[in-house]
């Protein structure tokens, strides 16, 4: 395991976690580490520690994973593999929906909608992975992509390659299911939205949508709000840790203390550091001091999500430049549907972008690249090129900024 980290910003006192210690000591992975009863001296963990000796690192003596899955007392899922190899995750049955609803209800607008529609249907358009629900390598009929109140719509990893016929199939399925809300990956969602806009397709049943799975840019949000005409909220979490933060009706990201304990480590002079969480409701596979790999900034009960640690760029003066800081340069910019800012080893950057319905004009593009040049602290110009598509990661997710 990794060594403990000294720089920690607590969202609340770790003393409230003491009631969990008796149960956590029954988990083989934590038995020895908890002997000292000092939570903040526990080593940090990553996906690597989760995978080591799985599932025996989590199961109690006498428990058998095959038997637990067979009697449907647990669910076995896998992470998407955004930053490293896919990792198995265990949930108590029903856990995912319960902790998701707790987070969503921190947003009073969403809470009112859910109260008015207790069995609210959703349509989900996200990067498909071969997890038994949807798989990009094998078409599945709608009946097999419907789980309870959720319809999984998308079956392609690269949205820019979808034909109009496939996008029309997706739109027909969404219209037929009459969802109360849409659950979107921002890039996949934007490409679907632009098709709907071209064809004049509306979904009157939809009351709101939330973006998750990856960083939602201001350019994504502008298009989604323009096309669907309903509130767009950011929902942050991960397969292994569950839902952690949600944007409320005032545009603030808030955490759910019932779901998790939050820490920020390695913070810079601005208070931006890596989010570390301890999950509190997954009894079979609790994660203690888990490094999410995401940069956040905390102001009392509010959080700013800055994007992946590994996607941060480097200022000429040496400090870190986060995806959020890059994305702020696009505020008020029209004509871009998606983008990627790449930084070479020598610090030079280049911008590639996919145009919106009406492409950005030359003057606005020059002003945008000047902003980017300033935030990165570069002397050289940043070339900008319009492209038809941008490649995803193996997981199907996209990077808005990264060091090549």
Alpha helix positions (H), 216-346: 218-228, 323-327
User: Which pLDDT belongs to residue 107?
Assistant: 98
124 alpha carbon, distance to own chain's centre: 14
pTM of the model: 0.92
Q: Which residue spans of the chain are classified as CATH 3.30.300.30?
A: 312-403
Measured CA to CA, the distance from residue 393 to residue 57 in angstroms comes to 29
CATH homologous superfamily for 312-403?
ANL, C-terminal domain (3.30.300.30)
Q: Which residue spans of the chain are classified as CATH 3.40.50?
A: 1-256
Measured CA to CA, the distance from residue 256 to residue 281 in angstroms comes to 11
Instruction: Answer positive or negative: Cα dihedral of 25, 27, 31, 37.
Output: negative
**CATH fold for domain 1-256:** Rossmann fold (3.40.50)
Write out the chain's pLDDT in tens, 404 residues.
444 443 444 446 888 999 999 999 999 999 988 887 789 889 999 999 999 999 999 998 888 999 998 898 898 888 866 555 778 999 999 999 999 999 999 999 999 999 999 999 999 999 876 444 455 456 788 888 999 999 999 888 899 999 999 999 999 999 999 999 999 999 999 999 999 999 999 999 999 999 999 999 999 999 999 999 999 999 999 999 999 999 999 999 999 999 999 999 999 999 999 999 999 999 999 999 999 999 999 998 999 999 999 999 999 999 999 999 999 999 999 999 999 999 999 999 999 999 999 999 999 999 999 999 999 999 899 999 999 999 998 878 899 999 98
Q: Are strands 208-211 and 302-308 parallel, antiparallel or unpaired?
A: unpaired
Give me the residue label for tokens 């941008």.
390
């Amino acid at each position: 395991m990794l060594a403990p980290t000294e720089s920690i910003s607590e969202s609340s006192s770790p003393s409230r976690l003491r009631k969990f210690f008796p149960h956590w000591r029954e988990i083989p992975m934590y038995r020895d580490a908890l002997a000292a009863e000092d939570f903040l001296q526990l080593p940090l963990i990553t996906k690597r520690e989760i995978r080591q000796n799985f599932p025996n690192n989590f199961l109690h003596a006498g428990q058998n994973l095959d038997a637990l899955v067979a009697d449907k007392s647990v669910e076995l899922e896998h992470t998407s593999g955004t930053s490293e190899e896919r990792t198995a995750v265990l949930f108590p049955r029903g856990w995912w929906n319960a902790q998701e609803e707790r987070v969503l209800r921190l947003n009073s607008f969403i809470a009112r909608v859910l109260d008015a529609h207790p069995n609210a249907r959703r349509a989900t358009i996200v990067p498909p992975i071969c997890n038994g629900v949807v798989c990009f390598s094998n078409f599945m009929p709608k009946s097999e992509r419907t789980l309870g109140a959720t319809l999984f719509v998308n079956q392609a990893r690269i949205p820019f390659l979808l034909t109009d016929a496939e996008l029309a199939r997706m739109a027909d399925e969404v219209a037929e299911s009459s969802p109360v809300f849409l659950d979107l990956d921002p890039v996949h969602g934007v490409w679907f939205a632009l098709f709907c806009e071209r064809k004049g397709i509306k979904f009157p049943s939809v009351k709101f949508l939330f973006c998750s799975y990856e960083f939602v840019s201001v350019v994504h949000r502008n298009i989604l709000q323009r096309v669907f005409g309903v509130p767009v909220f950011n929902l942050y979490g991960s397969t292994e840790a569950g839902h952690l933060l949600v944007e409320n009706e005032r545009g603030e990201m808030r955490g759910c203390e019932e779901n998790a304990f939050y820490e920020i480590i390695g913070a810079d002079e601005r208070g931006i550091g890596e989010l570390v969480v301890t999950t509190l409701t997954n009894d079979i596979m609790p994660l203690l001091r888990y490094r999410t790999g995401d940069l956040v900034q905390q102001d009392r009960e509010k959080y700013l999500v800055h994007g992946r640690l590994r996607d941060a760029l480097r200022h000429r003066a040496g400090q870190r430049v986060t995806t959020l800081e890059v994305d702020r340069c696009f505020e008020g910019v029209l004509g871009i549907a998606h983008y990627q800012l790449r930084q070479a080893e020598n610090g030079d950057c280049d911008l590639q972008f996919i145009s919106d319905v009406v492409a950005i004009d030359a003057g606005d593009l020059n002003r945008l690249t000047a902003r980017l040049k300033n935030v990165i602290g570069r002397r050289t110009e940043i070339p900008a090129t319009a492209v038809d598509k941008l490649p995803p990661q193996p997981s199907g997710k996209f990077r808005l900024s990264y060091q090549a």
